Each structure stands twice: as structure tokens, then as C-alpha cells.
Amino acid sequence: GTANMIDLEFPEILEWKKAKSILERGDIGTLRHIVVSWDIETYSNKKGLDSWKTRTDEGGGTLNQFASHVFYYLEWFVGPITSLSCRMHKAPGDTRRTDTLNIISAKTASGCALSVTISTHSIPGGGHRIEFYGSEGTMVLENTSSDHINGFKIFTAKRGTSKIEETCQHSLSAPDPDSRIAPVSCLVNRFLDWIETGLPQRPDLKDSLRVQQLLDAARRSNGSEQRIEVNK
């Protein structure tokens, strides 16, 4: 087929790749549940701007712009989501056609439970934190900085230990002016490889369609106030 590539860059970050390796090695045992907390204040919400970036029905808002990445990386970490429940909120008094807070509960085919909270109106915001709880330990992937890409650290704790210790922190000696350049470059290189070799690469339009299916299910859940089954 025609070469294509989608800009879903979080799995291209070094710490994320290391975190996935920790899971695949079984270092924390069988995954029981994952907790995602992504709390920031976007420029649009800080200034109260009203544009397509904030309008949920025009492709903006928290679900479309942030939960899309979360759905993709959760399935990348732990496999397909089979059911979900979503509630979309905004701050009291906010008259814009927007959503600034998503609260999502989901389950994967493996039985792992997922709890997700995404806020784009949090002052100053706690950053981006993913907690993995397994049968033998815990791993935390966390970024408390204002940079969406740089600043992630990995913390782990095994059964029998009393605290979570830092396992990995990656710092760039000469970071790019825009931290997205490095992960997006990985995607561009795979796209070019597909063009040159004809061998399909990911994430592609199929991954994009899958994310859209999950977003649609989240919207249906919010509208019906019911849990939605999701087919892979």
C-alpha cells in the first residue's frame, strides 16, 4: 500500500521504550492496573481562547487532542482496550464548546484495568504520570516539567521494598529547541524507509483509525452515560 505515517510520538521517547522493555521482561509481574494522570494548563485555556483548538465538535478539546495520544500509547503498552467509560467536563462558567477534563475507565483484553484523568485547565498542573501496578511491583513513568517530551523519569519498586526508586532519567546534552524534533524524526525516518523499501511501518493510518474508534466510543459513552464495548 501507499506509505503513510501518523504523528503519535510518545512511544519514540527513550524512557518510554525502556519502560516497555521493563514490562515485557516481566520485572513487575503481571499487570493488574494502570493509572494515568495528565494535568496541565494549555495556553488556550489559560487565555480563555475560543478556536478550533478548544471546540470539541471541530476536533479540538481535551479528548481529541490529548486522549488520542493516551489511547494509542496504552494499547502500545498493554494491548487492545475492550471496553471503556468516559465523562467529559469543563470548568464551571466556561461557555465555550469545549471539554477541559476527561475521566476515563477502561479494561484491556488481558484484563488489566485502566484509570485515566486528563485535565488541560489545571494550574500549574502536575505534569504527565503513568503508574503501572503489577503482581510483583510497580513502575512509574513521570514528567513533572512543562515540556511534553523531555523530562520523563522511570521509578520502580519490587515486592518487599518500602519505596519507589528512580531507575532511569535521560537528559539531552544539547537538546533541540523543540523537543518534538527527535521523536518526530524517528517517525519521519520510518516513513522514508517505507517509501524506499516498500516494507510497512507504524504508526500508520490503521493505528489512526483505531484511535478514532476509541475516541468515538468515548464520546458515545459520555453522551449515553454508559460503558461501551469496543471491538478491535
Q: Are 228 and 83 in contact (CB under 8 A)?
A: yes
In the chain, the domains with their CATH numbers are 10-229 (3.30.360.10)
pLDDT per residue, tens digit, the chain (232 aa), is 899 999 999 999 999 999 999 999 999 999 999 999 999 999 999 999 999 999 999 999 999 999 999 999 999 999 999 999 999 999 999 999 999 999 999 999 999 999 999 999 999 999 999 999 999 999 999 999 989 999 999 999 998 886 777 776 555 444 567 888 889 999 999 999 999 999 999 999 999 999 999 999 999 999 999 999 999 7
Q: Which of 33, 30, 36, 54 is nearest to 103 (CA)?
A: 36
Residue 29 makes CB contacts below 8 A (sequence gap 6+) with 134, 135, 136, 137
User: What is the number of other CB atoms lying within 10 angstroms of the CB of residue 81?
Assistant: 22
Q: What is the pLDDT of residue 174?
A: 45
**Which residue(s) pair with 116 in the sheet?**
36, 104
CA 33, chain centre distance (Å): 15
3-class DSSP state of 18: helix
Q: What is the pLDDT of residue 201?
A: 95
CA distances for 179 relative to 13, 92, 118, 214, angstroms: 10, 34, 21, 27
Q: What is the pLDDT of residue 161?
A: 80
Q: What is the pLDDT of residue 175?
A: 59
Tell me, what amino acid is at 118? I
